Structure 1
């Protein structure tokens, strides 16, 4: 009886600790949402109070108007276009490359795989200037292409993740498909691709988050307001030379959080499944 009581107390303590950590982690987001309904003059005056004294819903209307006649609908559209094509390019390129490394024997396979993995050790800042020079020379600056096209050439992290997932699939399925007259592309499309859906969804979710939060790339390559993404557009609210409309900024920041949150709750089971079944077989 005493042992059971101590076990229940320990379990209760763990749950309370997890709840406290969760509340502490979510507090900045809760504060952000609450501040989006406050008047600008009251955002930092009543910063410790989450509940606004006066609920100002006009902040969302003011924020949605955007800048220079360009509404936040344009910024949302730009972001969705870039993110969607980037995710598509990452899925296509990484799945094909991962299948090649996992199933196809070719000369210098180990060398090329090691080269791909070595790119994980290369900081992105090192290649930023050479990439900008190249994209500027071919006329891609002030277009979405520098943010989209590189995704169609694969990512080492996702190639490794999908490759490890493919290795958990019995090779006998490939042999059976060959006996039935299936070609190499047919095996990939009809046998492998349907079985690696969890890994592909995991790749899509992570790439979605990284592309959605890609502020630095959009800031460098997109110089025209009509091309701005959400991150760059939110930055324009901050004006050191005059008053910053913090309430409108927080309102648009709150709206920008809705798609990532929705994606997480809809596909969270695929994240767990894709990661837990990756790397089980060498």
Structure 2
């Protein structure tokens, strides 16, 4: 009996590896299928994309979709829209990462009146729907004269993001306070402590916040639609939207082609920094 069980266990271990990878591969293919479909659709004629939606490969490969798509719409090339998005993404990411780290340091290391209360208030804002604050924010930015500028999209990021603050607070709490005490004895002030001791030790959380901020700002459509009115200030998401025309034929081929181009920075960032994403998320709940 024992020998039969051992034999069955050995057989299962041999079978488990290919079965597991086949199931995971099938699931990955299912999740990636929309992107695969969009990739092949970017080489189809616009009028045939949805009439041949069940056929993955195009009958005739239309390479000109990438040429016409890159030429853009509204007198500006698609590269112009990508540059606008890049400027917004870089400024927003720098602002949110630095400000969130500074606020997280205050919550994790400084003792001040009402610290727990304000930390709780910040956590409650995580559950506040973004749609609730759209109208008040729009009124404020209108009175400040910020419409048709990137200020309403970029400047609020310099006041921190609750999710990133919470993530960094968990990281900072894993750092022994003895390091703070030793640095203070050596004459290190609070700001120097934050820059030279804390920041290098929470690189994983800083990288995670930067990556997620990049993703969210790059794909953002609502903010640019609300605050940007001039085509020369349009972002990638708005540039893609311009390929659709409700009154005439939409350039679906060009839109899908430029959608694939707009995915390249996202894919590149993911593969370059996926280690930091996993490390940042998995380590944020560990306390030492």
Instruction: Give the TM-score of the pair, scaled to structure 2.
Output: 0.95
Supply the distance in 2 between the matched residues of 1:106 and 1:215 (Cα, whole angstroms).
39
- 1:102 equivalent to 2:108? Answer yes
C-alpha distance in structure 2 between counterparts of 1:44 and 1:275, whole Å: 39
**1:42-191 maps to which residues of 2 (within 5 A)?**
42-191=48-197
Q: Quote the residue 2:23 is aligned against.
A: 17
> RMSD of the TM alignment (CA)?
1.2
Equivalents in 2 of 1:165, 1:175: separation in Å? 18
**Deviation of residue 236 (structure 1)?**
1.3
CA distance in 2, matches of 1:143, 1:110: 36
Shift of 1:53: 2.2
Unaligned runs of 5+ in 2: 1-6
- The Cα offsets for residues 154-209 of structure 1, whole Å up to 9 and x where unpaired, read as 11111000010011111111111112111111111001101110000000011111
**Quick one: distance in 2 between partners of 1:45 and 1:105?**
64
Match of 1:225 among 221, 231, 248: 231
Deviates more, 1:14-23 or 1:131-140: 14-23
| Cα offsets for 1:118-172 (capped at 9, x unmatched) | 1111111011000001101111010000000000011111100001001111111
1:257 aligns with 2:263: yes
Q: Quick check: 1:281 aligned with 2:287?
A: yes
The alignment status of 1:270 with 2:276, answered yes or no, reads yes
Quote the offset at 1:49 in angstroms. 2.5
* Equivalent residue pairs, number: 282
Where structure 1 has 5 or more consecutive residues not aligned to the other structure, the ranges are: none
Could you tell me the TM-score, scaled by structure 1's length? 0.97
Q: After superposition, give the CA deviation of every residue in 1:85-133 in whole Å (9 maximum; x if it has no partner).
A: 1100101110000000101111111111111111111111011000001
- Larger mean CA deviation between 13-22 and 264-273 belongs to 13-22
Task: Name 1:210's counterpart in structure 2.
Answer: 216
- Partner Cα distance (1:162, 1:240) in 2: 45
Q: Tell me if 1:31 matches 2:73.
A: no
Quote the Cα distance in structure 2 between the aligned partners of 1:189 and 1:35.
49
Q: What SS does the corresponding residue of 2:273 show, helix, strand or coil? A: helix
